[in-house]
Amino acid sequence: MAEITNFRGDTQPVEQMSSIDRAVQQLILRVGDRVRKARERKGIPRRVLSERSGVSPRYLAQLEAGAGNISIGLLERVAIALDHRIEWFVGEEDPWTSEVVKMASQFQTADKATQQAVMALLSSSGPGQQKAQRICLLGLRGAGKSTLGRMTGEALDLPFLELNREIEDHSGMPVSEVMALYGQEGYRKLESQALQRVIATHDSVILAVAGGIVAEPMTYNALLSHFHTVWLKASPEEHMGRVQAQGDDRPMAGNPEAMEQLRALLSSREPLYDRADARLDTTGNTLQQSTQALVALIESEGFLG
């Protein structure tokens, strides 16, 4: 007779489990299976996921095997580390077989012309009208979004905004405190609201956004629909060097696998960043060279009409 450990830690035959215990066990198995699939799809080793999430490798192994009764707090850590919403892991509908996710996957792998045609069909107005003269810079931390955005804004006589600054001004507290008080979900909600305010109040602007905004589907789709987007690329080594040059040694301090984690993060987000209208590789360029290249790209793509 098959036995299983229920959520209270008691071992008992499956046939003798209550309907509630069976439902809980099915949820634990479902969450574990989806965490494993999400990690494998992104090519992230379990030890790297452990470093990112702060959840031990042993606990992650138990979770993926359906033998770990993970808390909501720890699951949120894992979800953030995998760039997924926590709902993806607990919902009854399989996120990898739903029609919405299938369509999103097909959209991400389609060529640029197809993506633009789909967005035009879904938009109530033409893409040019919707995007106006709004330009958004995407990329990982250290891509140069803030510095290049400010310098390009001056060169083109456009206002420059940072979405995190808008969040801070509206909430009255630093982003670090927003995260501490409201968590990742609270921050994402404020991020979405800040983006809608920028869209409503600026027809001409250069906006820099946090690197993780691409992991929030609704917010990212709104961004792609209302802004001409540019992915600022750089090598992982240059990303890390720029962050350290700003006086922040936290990425490397006591973490010998920091570069590996950065490579994994860049790899997992690359398909999302690649949905941008244009991309600019700034590896090895000076600020002046990158600014000139960004100005030239904006003009050649006709982002300002």
- At 204-250, the pLDDT tens digits run 999 999 999 998 888 999 999 999 999 999 888 887 777 776 655 54
Q: What is the pLDDT of residue 8?
A: 47
* Mean pLDDT computed over every residue of the chain: 81
Report all structural domains of the chain as residue ranges with CATH numbers, in order of start: 3-90 (1.10.260.40), 132-301 (3.40.50.300)
Q: Give tens-digit pLDDT for 86-95.
A: 777 777 666 5
Q: Any residues with CB less than 8 A from the CB of 114 and at least 6 apart, and which?
A: none
Instruction: Average the pLDDT over 167-172 and give the result.
Output: 90
Specify whether the CB–CB gap between 233 and 283 falls below 8 A: yes
Instruction: Average the pLDDT over 5-10 and give the result.
Output: 48
Instruction: Average the pLDDT over 160-187 and give the result.
Output: 90
Helix (H), strand (E) counts: the chain = 15, 7
Nearest Cα to Cα of residue 212 among 153, 167, 156 = 167
Burial of 225 (0-12, 13-18, 19+ CB in 10 A): middle
